[in-house]
Amino acid sequence: MKRTKVIDALKRTDFGSEITVMGWVRSKRGSKGIFFIALNDGSTIKNVQIVGEDEKFPEDTVKLITTGACLRVVGTLVESPAAGQASEVQAKEIEVLGACDNTYPLQKKGASWEYLRTVAHMRPRTNTFGAILRIRHNMAMAIHTYFHEHGFYYFHTPLITASDCEGAGNMFQVTTKNLYDLKKDEQGKIDYSDDFFGQQVALTVSGQLEGELGATALGQIYTFGPTFRAENSNTPRHLAEFWMIEPEMAFYDKQDLMDLEEDFIKYCVRWALDNCRDDLEFLNKMVDKTLIERLEGVLKETFVRLPYTEGIEILQEAIRNGKKFEFPCQWGDDLASEHERYLVEEHFRKPVIMTDYPKEIKAFYMKLNEDGKTMQGTDVLFPQIGEIIGGSVREESYDKLMAEINRRGMETEKLEWYLDTRRWGSCPHAGFGLGFERLILFVTGMQNIRDVIPFPRTPKNCEF
């Protein structure tokens, strides 16, 4: 008989029919010769209850029905007398597809996040990670749907590249050279001409530069792919391998850009509320009691639009009133997460789009303001998260862009293709990057970015 997924089994009302379900035992309890199994197959956070009488099954089979075991159950769908579930399955036949002995690492309830990270290869089988991973999938669908519906094209930018978009030098090198036998010239430099690509290359830190080529041809594009950063940031907000969504739009100015950032994030949050209700309710109960309230709250708020300079004034005022920060926040300083969170969580109590940053703390490609000091960046700061989006209007003038590149002492040799966008038919344009895992952190209420991606990569950790 064809298998019915648990999510569908729970909706069926044809009581009395025969049904086959398969899944993993979440728990088993019993009394007076009757056992109750909570079976889950990943299709939903909810379990289907299997009821059986010990004496109807071989003793060997019953013994093998333990937490974590994989079962095939054939039985009768019946109306459930128990609260909280409409139906259950009265088992007629149970086959143990995969037994699970007491070395199974997920036997105990209430294991810590830290412990679960050590068994990250098995944790998708827990309720919480099941919920997170289904939400993660849904957010990817929301993102593709949003852009498709708004006339953006999904543009695939390369993962292996020779250019450091953010200019921070945090790149993972890609080479086929024998590292045990590296030859250097008299200046101590490595000759890459005989390397696979004939030059020094690395994993991308952002698809933006190539994305700009797409936007200045197709009008509006987005990327959605893995991104790599070798920054030694051991924080709950940083991964060495994360996923980024980078839309890039021709003919957008700063206002258009901020409107898109706000509309896009709200669309994703609304999608979660509309499509991930069971998982959100589970997380709201088990992980964060204010989660759903916070998600609904964001939809109601209009994001504050705050120039950096005004942000610094607010922080200075807070310090004068006795607020203590660990890091300095004079005009010109890069804001730390404590500053961002003060503005968002304490001062405004709603998301903030911070704009017009000092050029010294931002990347070379941002459009310079008339004051010659600030650039048209538009970062979105979120409660609990801090920076969730980094974006900007791009400098479209070849001369101004070159002046900034020269001021920074950057090499242009590997950027000529990028500069061609400004050489030929340059156009005003803008874009942003959303950190996918930071969005998932917000939508799930989880605290650590290592717990919203199946296999986290962080400094000194590349297991599984």
**Which residues make up the interface to Mg ion (CB under 5 A)?**
390
User: Where does residue 198 fall: left (phi above 0), alpha (psi -120 to 50 degrees), or beta otherwise?
Assistant: left
Alpha-carbon gap, residue 395 to 20, rounded angstroms:
61
Q: Between 246 and 396, name the residue whose CB sits nearer to ligand 4AD.
A: 246
* 206 interface partner picked from Mg ion, ligand 4AD, none, CB below 5 to 8 A per type: ligand 4AD
| By the rule CB under 6 A, 450 interacts with ligand 4AD | no
Question: What minimum distance in Å lies between the beta carbon of 456 and Mg ion?
Answer: 20
Among 239, 292, 295, 329, binds ligand 4AD (CB under 6 A): 239
Single out the residue of 87, 98, 72, 70 nearest to residue 15, CA to CA: 87
Q: Is 164 in the site for ligand 4AD (CB under 6 A)?
A: no
52 binds ligand 4AD (CB under 6 A): no
212 counts as binding ligand 4AD under rule CB under 6 A: no
Query: With contact defined as beta carbons under 8 Å apart, do 237 and 336 qualify?
Result: no
Report in angstroms how near the CB of residue 186 gets to Mg ion at its nearest. 39
The window from 105-113, 180-188, 347-355, 429-437 that contacts ligand 4AD (CB under 6 A) reads: 429-437
When CB distances are held under 5 to 8 angstroms depending on the partner's kind, the choice from Mg ion, ligand 4AD, none that residue 359 binds is none
Q: Which is nearer to Mg ion, 238 or 347 (CB)?
A: 238
Q: Which residue is nearest to Mg ion (CB)?
A: 390
User: Between 431 and 445, whose beta carbon lies closer to ligand 4AD?
Assistant: 431
In the complex with ligand 4AD, the residue whose CB is nearer, 233 or 290, is 233
> Which CB, 24 or 432, lies closer to Mg ion?
432
Contact call for residue 435 and ligand 4AD (CB under 6 A): yes
Q: Which residues pair with 76 in a beta bridge?
A: 18, 90
- For residue 136 the two structure tokens come to 């993660």
Q: Which stretch binds ligand 4AD (CB under 6 A): 77-85, 237-245, 257-265, 325-333?
A: 237-245
Nearer to ligand 4AD, 53 or 231 (CB): 231
Written as six digits, the tokens of 318 are 């807070």
Closest separation in Å from C-beta 201 to Mg ion: 23
Asked whether 436 and 243 are in contact (CB, 8 A), the reply is yes
CB of 326 to ligand 4AD, least distance (A): 20
As a whole number of angstroms, the distance between CA 211 and CA 390 comes to 15
Q: Which of 229, 339, 347, 359 binds ligand 4AD (CB under 6 A)?
A: 229
Q: Which token pair is 206? A: 């952002």
41/379 with CB nearer ligand 4AD:
379
Give me the least distance between CB of 231 and ligand 4AD, in Å please: 6
Residue 382, φ and ψ in degrees, nearest 5: -120, 150
Beta strands in 41-171, from DSSP E residues, in sequence order: 48-53, 70-79, 87-98, 153-154, 160-161
**Residue nearer to ligand 4AD on the CB measure, 23 or 433:** 433
Contact partner at residue 165 from Mg ion, ligand 4AD, none, CB < 5 to 8 Å by partner kind: ligand 4AD
Interface segment toward ligand 4AD; rule CB under 6 A; list 88-96, 144-152, 179-187, 231-239: 231-239
- The interaxial angle of helices 277-286 and 291-300, nearest 10 deg, is 120
Nearest of 204, 206, 214 to residue 250 by alpha carbon: 214
User: CA 338 from chain center: how many Å?
Assistant: 21
CB 350 within 8 A of CB 361: no
432 binds, among ligand 4AD, Mg ion, none (CB under 5 to 8 A by kind): ligand 4AD
Task: Give the nearer residue to Mg ion in terms of CB position, either 311 or 390.
Answer: 390
- For the chain, give me the number of helices (H) and strands (E)? 13, 16
Choose from Mg ion, ligand 4AD, none: what does 246 bind? Cβ within 5-8 Å by kind. Answer: ligand 4AD
**Helix ranges restricted to H, 327-412:** 337-341, 398-407
Asked if 166 interacts with ligand 4AD (CB under 6 A), we say yes
Cα–Cα distance, 382 to 164 (Å, whole number): 27
Report the alpha-carbon distance of residue 204 to residue 226 in Å, rounded.
8
Q: Check residue 245 for interaction with ligand 4AD (CB under 6 A).
A: no
Contact 46, 277 (CB under 8 A): no
CB atoms closer than 10 angstroms to residue 30: 15
At closest approach, how far in Å is the CB of 240 from ligand 4AD? 7
- Residue 127: partners with Cβ closer than 8 Å, 6 or more residues away: 26, 40, 45, 282, 286
- Structure-token pair, residue 66: 């333990």
* 438 contacts ligand 4AD (rule: CB under 6 A): yes
Give Cβ neighbours of residue 171 (< 8 Å, ≥ 6 apart): 164, 202, 203, 205, 228, 229, 230
The only residue of 6, 389, 405, 446 in contact with ligand 4AD, by rule CB under 6 A: 389
Which positions touch ligand 4AD (CB under 6 A)?
A: 165-166, 206, 208, 229, 231, 238-239, 242, 244, 246, 387-392, 431-433, 435, 437-438
